[in-house]
Amino acid sequence: MKNKILNRLKRAICGVGAIIVCFSLFSFTSVDHPKNDTLVNNSFKLRTIIIDAGHGVKPDNAPPGHYSRGASGSFSSERNVTLAIALKLQKAIEKDLDGVNAVLTRTTEDDVSFERRAQIANENKGNLFISIHCNSLADKVVRQRVGTRRGRAVYKSVRVPDRSGKGALMLVYGLHRSREEQNAIKNNKIEDDSDLNGDGLDPNDPVVIILTDAYMRKFRKQSVKIANLISTEFVDTDGRRSEGLREQGIYVLCHAAMPSVLVETGYINNPDDEEYLNSEAGQNEIVNSIVRAIKTYKTDVEQLAQ
């Protein structure tokens, strides 16, 4: 088995030079990809996509874990919008992409912990992880005049809603959480490499460490690729505003052993975005753009495997 890993390591080392390893701390732009990816098996197919509907209502009997209530608008909640979009996206993927299975991390309003979301993704051998969210801005502090005292104006600091955010945003996991991504890869079977599956391998073996690092870099490159494709669809096809790509230390992204992106579909505390996110037309437009991006991504990664 060690010989098999060594052989794969040689191929990995040859491919590492072609992998983009330097990204901006806060934003990314589209990158050109090599024609050959030595870390992808010739038989690789995009078979399973994990769709993660962000947040939810924490059940009374919820097991220990990290939960988050999500954002709210004037008449709607993030947990409801994300689930509606995720359910539509699952149907669209299985309808429009032959042979691709879409797995949801939650199908009801009940929340699922961050740990369980990543576990579902890895247990189902996902090839791509897409987390659906709604963005929101925190209240801002402003100085307001409240009266006059002894001929001088009196001010006080008050918190007011900040509704200036508008448009979509793509997030990929932060480089400062790379070790967690490496551990996820080591502990979960890689679909296109049956030897790197965590069974009987020494996680401290230099061979395993280098090969795992190569996979991590490949997954990050592909995460940036799908994020760019989705953002481009939102802007060029739908005419929406996009804040581009940023990196952030998000648990579910760095613990999923696969390319992963979090899609902030809009600012739910912005009146215009909230109307859009809750409308059938808006949700369908978001879903269709994501599906088009996945189709392009699927074609590209499968061609690289040939």
Neighbour tally for 16: CB within 10 Å: 16
pTM for the full predicted model: 0.77
pLDDT of residue 49: 98
| Cα–Cα distance, 35 to 145 (Å, whole number) | 63
pLDDT at 26: 32
- Would you state the pLDDT for residue 183? 55
CA 27 to chain centre: 15
One pLDDT digit (tens) per residue for the chain, 306 residues: 544 544 544 444 444 333 333 333 333 444 344 444 544 455 789 999 999 999 988 877 777 777 778 999 999 999 999 999 999 999 999 999 999 999 999 999 999 988 999 999 999 999 999 999 999 998 888 787 878 888 888 788 888 889 999 999 999 987 654 555 555 554 554 444 444 444 445 555 554 555 556 667 888 899 999 999 999 999 999 999 999 999 988 888 888 889 999 999 999 999 999 999 999 999 999 999 999 999 999 999 998 766
pLDDT of res. 303: 86
User: What local confidence, expressed as pLDDT, does residue 187 receive?
Assistant: 57
Instruction: Supply the pLDDT for residue 297.
Output: 97
Contact 277, 77 (CB under 8 A): no
Q: How far apart are CA 32 and CA 233, in angstroms?
A: 18
User: Helices 271-278 & 280-304, crossing angle to 10 degrees?
Assistant: 80
List, in order of start, the domains of the chain with CATH numbers: 2-20+42-304 (3.40.630.40)
